[in-house]
Amino acid sequence: MSQMTISSRIGRITPARPGGSVRARAVDAAPVSTSNGFRLLCVLLVALTFTAVLLLNTVRAEGSYVLSSLEVEATALHDEKVTLADELESKGSSESLARAATKLKMVPSTSTATLRLSDGSITGVASKVDGSRTLTVDLPSTGTALAKDD
């Protein structure tokens, strides 16, 4: 330790008084000045830090809650998509379509007419199943179908 530190801790010795008594007086090394502004600044910084951490944790928890609910909703929607895809596939199968046609008293066609979209040409002649009535398609210029009875 330096001489200054030791002397400030022990105190300074005052010169002897006329009567022979020597009095030692203790002197405090740290100045006694209160800095309330600095203390207030430190307390304010600590309070702001704790508030920021609390807000960040709250936002994070809210985000986690929202993410969890969205994952549940996504799972439910995926299950519904799979169910609807299976239902569509089963209703679109040839057996299902044949059953639905039979319920509507439909019978398979024996002849068909087709329309080629690229050039508008018509091929074939569509007719009723019993053969009593033939449906002939007119040229594409009029766009109307004509029913002809034989």
Low-confidence ranges of the chain (pLDDT < 50): 1, 131-133, 150
What is the domain partition of the chain in residue ranges? 34-106, 108-149
**Which pLDDT tens digit goes with each residue over 120-142?**
888 888 776 764 445 555 555 65
**Distances from the Cα of 148 to the Cα of 122, 133, 135, 141, angstroms:** 17, 7, 6, 19
Q: Are 88 and 104 in contact (CB under 8 A)?
A: no
Compute the distance between CA of residue 101 and CA of residue 105 in angstroms, rounded to an integer.
Answer: 6
